[in-house]
Chain A
Amino acid sequence: MSAFTDSLEKVAAALENNSKKFEELDSVAGDGDLGITAGNIAKGLRAGAAGATGDLKADLMLIGREIAKFAPSTFGTLFATGFIRASAAVADGDALKNTQLGVAAAFEGIAARGKAALGERTLLDALHPASVALNGATDLQSGLNAAATGARAGVTATASMAPKHGRAGWIGERAQGNEDAGATVVAVVFEALAQ
């Protein structure tokens, strides 16, 4: 396994190991299916890893396509969008530069597709601090460490945010006091990458 496919496996395993947690968080405000979706995203990541060729652009696109197939829910589609936009953004640079470009493009793409802004209690509230932390780093490992810390802090902040999107948006205040399930998925991803 390459370092890239190794990372994908780490993320897939972390998503599966935390699926119960995602389900519980999502049941408070959403329809409780985020645990299943996270498991499906893990399947997509593994299918992408199995077909990876070492061409980063092509591999990210493949992963996005596989996630779209395995996890066709709203959250899965947003996740897939992140990989597809990252695919378009990466260049021939080093791993840190490509991670910075890819995560930034994923953030922009997911915000556009989901028509969501920061502070609206979505996965963006974890992805944005992760992206900012990465951009301030000078090497990949410290960048991923900082991204994981940033994403987790973002998750903590969602507990006091009022939801505007999805089913959580209709029930309003009831979601408050709990951390957002989708943002938690993003933190788990970066924590796995930082391992």
Chain B
Amino acid sequence: MQKILNVPTEFVNEMLEGILEAYPTQLKAVGGDNHALVRADAPVSGKVGITTGGGSGHLPLFLGYVGKGMLDGVAVGDVFQSPTAEQMLAVTQQVNSGAGVLYIYGNYGGDVFNFDFAAELAAAEGIRVETVLGADDVASAPKGEEGRRRGIAGIFFLYKVAGAAAAKGLSLDEVVAVTKKAAAQTRTMGLALSPVTLPAVGHPTFEVKPGEMEIGMGIHGEPGIRKSALETADQITEELLTAIKNDLDLKSGDKVCVLMNSLGATPPEELYIMFRHAKKTLKGYGVDVARAYVGEFATSLEMAGASISVIRVDDELLNYINTPVHTPFFTQA
């Protein structure tokens, strides 16, 4: 994979510089550290601060959703690496208006370790912090062991719900409750068609053979649940949705929102081919799609592949998902 780079080790620093230059009215760095970013108008008076963080290499995750109606701040790590607890703490201090702070991030060991420490440091300063983990990847652990699951694209729905609830003025406890409700109703399944090359490494760090696909591969190349010859779009879509339906126990009459996500290299055309069949398949289950998102939401550098996220919604969750937002990477009127 050819890359457009200067110095590979400066990949994240130079990316962050560019993003801050592109959106100077929407984002600002805390204390001169571009790895600690907040809304330009943070802290928003009286509002619960919604904070996230994680490694680089997943744009628009995580920093792309910092903005009106979604997140207040983000701690940005190196490629596929957790940011530090100090960076998370700096963000926490900056987004706290006195109403407390909610951490929403993916369930990965390094991130949990550092975010928990940041929460402890914040608590020592009198800032109340609560945490809801994204753990939507059905392929990463079996039913009954949901706590071990990794967080992937479905975290978008958690950001959307928490952001809207916080913007509406709900208390920290209320925002936590509705975000947990959203997390409990969210599932994702994905597949990968190609490996990725970390800029500082220079060669692919795992293998997906030409002509093959890997169902359930993680967004850092974690092993999936099945490798086989590449199937048709309809077959793939059906396999992913079947796993989600079984895990979420989708029933006729349920209402869902769907997120069809590219892992980086797969073009939107292919996502729409998948969505076409997803809609038909869900209709066959008697499940109504109340809202669809199709595009790049959580990527893994230039990995080819896609994921489907489904959230079962009631009126409350759908209302929050339908609320307008405006962030550098995502706008919903």
Which residues in A have some Cβ–Cβ distance to B below 8 Å? 61, 65, 68-69, 72, 74, 77, 80-81, 84, 113-114
Known: A81-B117, A113-B117. A72 touches B124 (CB 8 A): no
Q: Is the CB of A72 within 8 A of B113?
A: no
Cα separation A80 to B113 with both chains bound (whole Å): 13
Closest to A81 in B: B117
Q: How far is the CB of B84 from chain A (nearest CB, A)?
A: 4
**Residues of chain A contacted by B110 (CB below 8 angstroms):** 74
Cα separation A113 to B121 with both chains bound (whole Å): 13
**Residues of chain A contacted by B86 (CB below 8 angstroms):** 68-69, 72
Q: How far is the CB of A144 from chain B (nearest CB, A)?
A: 27
Cα separation A113 to B110 with both chains bound (whole Å): 11
Which residues in B have some Cβ–Cβ distance to A below 8 Å? 84-86, 110, 113-114, 116-117, 120-121, 124
Known: A77-B113, A77-B114, A113-B113. A72 touches B120 (CB 8 A): no
Q: Is the CB of B124 within 8 A of A74?
A: no
Known: A84-B121, A114-B113. 18 other contacts (CB 8 A): A65-B121, A68-B85, A68-B86, A72-B84, A72-B85, A72-B86, A74-B110, A74-B113, A77-B85, A77-B113, A77-B117, A80-B117, A81-B117, A81-B120, A84-B124, A113-B113, A113-B116, A113-B117
**Residues of chain B contacted by A74 (CB below 8 angstroms):** 110, 113
**Residues of chain B contacted by A113 (CB below 8 angstroms):** 113, 116-117
Q: How far is the CB of B53 from chain A (nearest CB, A)?
A: 13
Cα separation A140 to B269 with both chains bound (whole Å): 72
**Residues of chain A contacted by B113 (CB below 8 angstroms):** 74, 77, 113-114
Q: Top 9 closest A-B pairs, CB basis?
A: A72-B84, A77-B117, A69-B86, A72-B86, A77-B85, A68-B86, A68-B85, A81-B117, A61-B124
Q: How far is the CB of B22 from chain A (nearest CB, A)?
A: 28
Cα separation A113 to B114 with both chains bound (whole Å): 9
Q: How far is the CB of A84 from chain B (nearest CB, A)?
A: 7
Closest to B109 in A: A115
Cα separation A74 to B77 with both chains bound (whole Å): 14
**Residues of chain A contacted by B116 (CB below 8 angstroms):** 113
Q: How far is the CB of A47 from chain B (nearest CB, A)?
A: 13
Cα separation A65 to B89 with both chains bound (whole Å): 11
Q: How far is the CB of B101 from chain A (nearest CB, A)?
A: 18
**Residues of chain B contacted by A68 (CB below 8 angstroms):** 85-86, 117, 121
Closest to A69 in B: B86
Closest to B116 in A: A113
**Residues of chain B contacted by A114 (CB below 8 angstroms):** 113
Closest to B114 in A: A77
Cα separation A114 to B86 with both chains bound (whole Å): 17
**Residues of chain A contacted by B85 (CB below 8 angstroms):** 68, 72, 77
**Residues of chain B contacted by A81 (CB below 8 angstroms):** 117, 120
> Can you show 23 pairs from A to B with CB atoms below 8 A apart?
A61-B124, A65-B121, A68-B85, A68-B86, A68-B117, A68-B121, A69-B86, A72-B84, A72-B85, A72-B86, A74-B113, A77-B85, A77-B113, A80-B117, A81-B117, A81-B120, A84-B120, A84-B121, A84-B124, A113-B113, A113-B116, A113-B117, A114-B113
Q: How far is the CB of A33 from chain B (nearest CB, A)?
A: 14
Closest to A87 in B: B124
**Residues of chain B contacted by A77 (CB below 8 angstroms):** 85, 113-114, 117
Cα separation A81 to B113 with both chains bound (whole Å): 11
Q: How far is the CB of B330 from chain A (nearest CB, A)?
A: 30
Cα separation A87 to B110 with both chains bound (whole Å): 24
Q: How far is the CB of B89 from chain A (nearest CB, A)?
A: 8
Q: How far is the CB of B200 from chain A (nearest CB, A)?
A: 14
